[in-house]
Homo-oligomer: A and B are copies of this chain.
């Protein structure tokens, strides 16, 4: 009997979380006094503050985030929408966003779209329900209509985009200079005397790929190189896409002598096909990728690629959000941060190596 009683007491203790009321009861104070003491309110005596803090520790008090968020209208949560985390690029960016936001007292709620517009819409609704203080996102491949992102803006929730952005949305954006990257690559290949460059790229409705394509065209023109028929191919940029397209290119009448792929995955697929076909890389054909994924240095030959400083992109995205939160009124000037990126020249495109 006694044992049972004892047990139920213990269970009660476990279940019951201490609130400011409990602290108040212990010290003969009201909840509001306790709340003020904990928040270092100037009108509370140091003696009381000390007593409250001690009691809080003794009772293992942990503030109820939900109630204070409700009252203050601020959840200290940030929604993070990405196509998927299962790539080195996104996981690096997320890792850094999370680090920076955590340091500043924010929690990150993750949502993956798997490149699906539908899932993206659902995620946005969900995050808005949760009353996130802001949303950081990289737009899904499928997305061509930005009404849901407009909705975020209309609700007055700060929105920061990275990588896959959109000019029309008129929000903070962190990315790289895709146009210029294409120039770097074409200049490098032209300098190596490659002349028939093909471009395996993403869908041109996405701004970053549109820019890469534009950069590619302009750079080719600048170096007086003709753009072959069918040599700009849009796809999902996965390994399999690279393989498929490379095979098709090899069967073309005018076979290219260099490939600029807009992802390392596509570059890898293309390279695999060339190795299988016994085509010498870079002697017969050069390959340049994009993104500096870790595997690009593991395969032989190592793949030349664009390094985008993922960590920095993540940090800047988080900082842009924090900045926006700090001065919500300063809606005039948008943060359009274009970060540096660099061409890593490796053996897949360097004949003299």
> Once the chains are docked, how many angstroms separate the CA of A156 from the CA of B66?
18
Per-position contact with B for A93-133: 1 when CB-CB < 8 Å, else 0? 01100110010000111111000000000000110111100
Q: Is the CB of A126 within 8 A of B112?
A: no
Answer whether A70 and B62 are a contact pair too, CB < 8 Å, given A14-B155, A98-B112: no
Q: Does A154 contact B (CB under 8 A)?
A: yes
| Partner-contacting stretch, out of A45-53, A84-92, A165-173 | A84-92
Most buried by B among A98, A294, A299: A294
Answer whether A65 and B299 are a contact pair too, CB < 8 Å, given A84-B95, A85-B94, A109-B109: no
> Once the chains are docked, how many angstroms separate the CA of A95 from the CA of B115?
13
Q: Does A146 contact B (CB under 8 A)?
A: no
> Once the chains are docked, how many angstroms separate the CA of A301 from the CA of B126?
46
> Once the chains are docked, how many angstroms separate the CA of A1 from the CA of B298?
67
Most buried by B among A84, A85, A295: A85
Chain B residues lying within 8 Å of A130, measured Cβ to Cβ, are 65-66, 107
Chain B nearest CB from A62 CB (Å) reads 5
Q: Which of B87, B128, B154, B298 contacts A298 (CB 8 A)?
A: B298
Closest to A311 in B: B86
Chain B nearest CB from A101 CB (Å) reads 10
Q: Is the CB of A65 within 8 A of B129?
A: yes
Answer whether A85 and B75 are a contact pair too, CB < 8 Å, given A14-B155, A298-B298: no
Chain B residues lying within 8 Å of A86, measured Cβ to Cβ, are 88, 91-92, 95
> Once the chains are docked, how many angstroms separate the CA of A217 from the CA of B65?
49
Q: Is the CB of A62 within 8 A of B125?
A: yes
Most buried by B among A15, A75, A110: A110
Chain B residues lying within 8 Å of A95, measured Cβ to Cβ, are 84-86, 112
Chain B residues lying within 8 Å of A298, measured Cβ to Cβ, are 268, 295, 298-299
Q: Does A205 contact B (CB under 8 A)?
A: no
Chain B nearest CB from A72 CB (Å) reads 10
Q: Does A244 contact B (CB under 8 A)?
A: no
Q: Which of B66, B98, B131, B155 contacts A110 (CB 8 A)?
A: B98
Most buried by B among A75, A94, A125: A94
Closest to A72 in B: B66
Q: Which of B67, B94, B299 contacts A70 (CB 8 A)?
A: B67
Q: Does A300 contact B (CB under 8 A)?
A: yes
Chain B nearest CB from A314 CB (Å) reads 11
Chain B nearest CB from A298 CB (Å) reads 5
Chain B residues lying within 8 Å of A222, measured Cβ to Cβ, are none
Chain B residues lying within 8 Å of A279, measured Cβ to Cβ, are none
Chain B nearest CB from A310 CB (Å) reads 9
* A70-B70, A86-B92, A94-B110 given; 8 more Cβ-contact pairs under 8 Å: A14-B154, A17-B155, A63-B129, A66-B69, A86-B88, A86-B95, A107-B126, A110-B110
The contact sample of 16 A-B pairs, CB cut-off 8 A, is A15-B156, A64-B70, A64-B131, A65-B129, A65-B131, A66-B66, A86-B95, A87-B91, A95-B112, A107-B111, A108-B109, A109-B109, A109-B110, A294-B295, A295-B298, A298-B298
